[in-house]
Amino acid sequence: MAIAKGHGTNFETLRKAFASDDVCLLECTEKATGKPVVVLCMVNRVGDERVFVPVARMFSGNPYDELIPPK
């Protein structure tokens, strides 16, 4: 499976966000279950406001138990 172009674009944006310290981890609530989840977010600065853009969820358990790596 090829990585979608949009994912590559988002990854490059995320790299820039890390370089400018515009990333954070936030605890959010999953809509389907109501359980807390930790989310990696990019931070957009709009004047004095900060807008958090979720881009990835952190694994709660061992990712090696949940994923099969590519060969």
**Euclidean distance between CA atoms 43 and 20, whole angstroms:** 10
Residue 15's pLDDT is what? 96
In this prediction, residue 71 carries a pLDDT of 83
Q: Is it the case that residue 1 has pLDDT exceeding 80?
A: no
Burial 27-37 (b: 16+ CB within 10 A, else e): eeeeeeeeeee
pTM: 0.80
Q: How far apart are the first and last CA of the chain?
A: 12
What is the CA 29 to chain-centroid distance, rounded? 14
The domain locations on the chain are 5-66
For residue 25, give the nearest of 40, 12, 3, 37 by alpha carbon.
40
pLDDT tens digits along 6-65: 999 989 999 999 999 999 999 999 999 999 999 999 999 999 999 999 999 999 999 999
Q: How confident is the model at residue 2 (pLDDT cuts 50, 70, 90)?
A: confident
